[in-house]
Amino acid sequence: MKLFTLLTAAAGLLFVSACASTAPAPTDERIVIETAQETSSVQPGRVYISADAAKVFTLRDIESEINERGFLAVRVFGKTAELSALKWAFFGDIDYEFCYKFLWFDADGNEVPTDVGFIPRSTIPGDPVRFVGHAPTEECRDFALILRMASKADAKDAAVDADDEAEAAAEADAETEREEAAEVAETVAGESYVVPETKNKDQNVSGSDTDVNVIGVTDTGSEE
């Protein structure tokens, strides 16, 4: 009974401390802690992290390069927080569920519009994590990353968006195949068969059945 009371008190203390804790102040100038779900002003070269995500994610490094196709490619490296023994005892093995989105900017710092929404990402506590983004156009020369903890609704919406994009791509491929097949059918129907001309007309069989010119045989005329 006493052990149960101590465990209950510890669980209550853990819950209260978790609710009362705030995100740590970022030590990296590239990190901006979001104070609301919508970021009003985003600056290139920054990583915008929600307060709850900042509790479990630590930024390690950022790499960017122009790939062989001329597009900007970005990799953001970090690590997730390990579970304490007490948390593991009460919650067991859990995964951190993130959602992230890259924003892209041209050389003048203007945002380049894109239709890509938040992408879900799951990782184990204590593991390294990497977020990779590829610019949608060649004019992109800088980026910003928005990182949040994903809710079930976010994960569901992201899955629906992915299914819609895959369905649209499949329909586009099917339409292309139908158009190509129609072009081939139209080309074949419009062609007519032409008998090729003979190089040596004297060698052709022509005229009536009795008018035959046999090559190599001298015409001696009719028999006397």
Q: What is the pLDDT of residues 54-68, one digit of tens each?
A: 999 999 999 999 999
What percentage of the chain exceeds 90 in pLDDT?
39
Domain boundary pick from 150, 183, 211? 150
Give the dihedral of Cα atoms 91, 25, 27, 80; nearest 10 deg.
10
Specify the pLDDT at position 66. Answer: 93
Q: pLDDT value at position 8?
A: 46
Q: What is the mean pLDDT of residues 196-209?
A: 51
What average pLDDT does this structure show over 14-39? Answer: 58
- CA–CA dist 129, 49 (Å, integer): 14
Q: What is the mean pLDDT of the chain?
A: 73
Angle at 33 between CA 31 and CA 37, to 5 degrees: 130
One domain for residues 105 and 131: yes
Task: For residue 67, tell me if it sits in a domain.
Answer: yes
SS3 96: strand
pTM for the full predicted model:
0.55
Q: Is 89 contained in some domain?
A: yes
Per-residue pLDDT tens digits for 95-126 = 899 999 999 999 999 999 999 999 999 999 99
Based on the domain organization, do 139 and 166 belong to the same domain?
A: no
CATH number at residue 65: 2.60.40.3230
| Confidence tier at 39 by pLDDT (50, 70, 90) | low
> For residue 41, what is the DSSP state?
-
Write out the residue range of the structural domain in which residue 179 sits.
152-194
Q: Identify whether residues 104 and 34 lie together within a single domain.
A: yes
Assess whether 30 and 62 both reside in one domain.
yes
What pLDDT was estimated at residue 175? 65
pLDDT of residue 147: 96
Q: Report the domain count for the chain.
A: 2
Same domain, 145 and 178: no
Q: Are 123 and 96 in contact (CB under 8 A)?
A: yes
The reported pLDDT for the residue numbered 62 is 95
Q: What is the pLDDT of residues 165-181, one digit of tens each?
A: 556 556 666 666 776 77
Shared domain for 183 and 146, answered yes or no, is no
